[in-house]
């Protein structure tokens, strides 16, 4: 099945650094969702985007729905140890279609 | 507390021995789905259900069965498990297929 291209695959960062990751698709999407999976748990929704150009924040997290509607970005400012985990993007063409998932970005904070 | 529960959380079994992983949600969601998660491949959808008695194949349905006899329950059945079904499995539910999905805690399955 179709997958989103999510990058980077993994990131090693220092505590306090800012983080950026993105997802791109060959299809135009009407919905972008960003999830985080903590070790040993199921994914949890962080931010939902429903409009091209939309910029939404959730604490230190900011996500944007790309203006081309084929990409989305997630930024984390001033990373802290509890930010470690896997971040997934998911997109949907329209309500008649299933969500399509990215392969995930694994965030690791260097001690 | 609104939640999705899965059982068992961990299971080690042998090739060919039928097993069922249960999934239950208490949010009155119409949509339920099963995913498997493998390193480097992200979440791949196995089956989904838009409502009671309505199920459909996802991206990787081979070797799996599901049923949706009640709104709250969506069990995943492996009639004859094989080692390539060793994976981490997640059940999820939502009000609709494009809406926020709530995930269960996962079931780690090992097939020897």
Query: Are residues A98 and B48, on separate chains, in Cβ contact within 8 Å?
Result: yes
pLDDT at A24: 96
pLDDT at B106: 96
Rounded CA gap, A28 and B102, in Å?
A: 25
Interface of A with B (CB under 8 A): 1, 3, 6, 9, 30-31, 33, 40-45, 48, 88, 92, 94-95, 97-99, 101-104
Residue pLDDT, tens place only, B25-70: 999 999 999 999 998 888 999 999 999 999 999 989 999 999 999 9
pLDDT at B108: 97
Rounded CA gap, B35 and A37, in Å?
A: 14
Query: Are residues B42 and A103, on separate chains, in Cβ contact within 8 Å?
Result: yes
A43, A31 contact by CB (below 8 A): no
> Among residues B35, B112, B41, B104, which one has the least CA distance to residue B76?
B35
B98, A31 contact by CB (below 8 A): yes
pLDDT at A2: 58
B42 neighbourhood in chain A, CB within 8 Å: 3, 6, 88, 101-104
What 3-state DSSP class applies to A81? helix
* Across B82-94, average pLDDT: 97
Query: How far off is chain B from A33, nearest CA to CA, in Å?
Result: 8
A94 neighbourhood in chain B, CB within 8 Å: 98
Q: Number of CB pairs < 8 Å for A and B? A: 57
Q: Is the pLDDT of residue B95 over 60?
A: yes
Rounded CA gap, B108 and B8, in Å?
A: 8
More confident residue, B89 or A92: B89
Q: Print pLDDT tens along chain A (111 aa).
A: 556 899 999 999 999 999 999 999 988 999 999 999 998 899 999 999 999 999 999 999 999 999 999 999 999 999 999 999 999 999 988 777 788 899 999 999 987
């Amino acid at each position: 099945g179709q997958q989103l291209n999510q990058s980077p695959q993994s990131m090693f960062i220092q505590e306090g650094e800012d983080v950026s990751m993105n997802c791109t698709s060959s299809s135009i999407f009407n919905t972008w969702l960003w999830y985080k999976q903590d070790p040993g748990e199921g994914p949890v929704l962080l931010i939902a985007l429903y409009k091209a150009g939309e910029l939404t924040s959730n604490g230190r997290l900011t996500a944007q729905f790309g203006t081309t509607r084929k990409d989305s970005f997630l930024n984390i400012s001033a990373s802290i140890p509890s930010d470690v985990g896997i971040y997934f993007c998911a997109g949907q063409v329209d309500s008649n279609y299933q969500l399509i998932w990215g392969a995930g970005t694994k965030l690791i904070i260097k001690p | 507390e609104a939640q999705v529960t899965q059982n068992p959380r961990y299971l080690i079994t042998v090739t060919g021995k039928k097993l069922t992983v249960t999934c239950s949600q208490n949010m009155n969601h119409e949509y339920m789905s099963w995913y498997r998660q493998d390193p480097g491949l992200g979440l791949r959808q196995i089956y989904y259900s838009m409502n009671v008695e309505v199920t459909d194949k996802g991206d990787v349905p081979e070797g799996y069965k599901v049923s949706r006899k009640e709104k709250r329950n969506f069990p995943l059945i492996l009639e004859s498990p094989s080692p390539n079904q060793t994976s981490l499995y997640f059940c999820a539910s939502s009000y609709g297929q494009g809406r926020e999905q709530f995930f269960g805690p996962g079931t780690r399955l090992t097939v020897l």
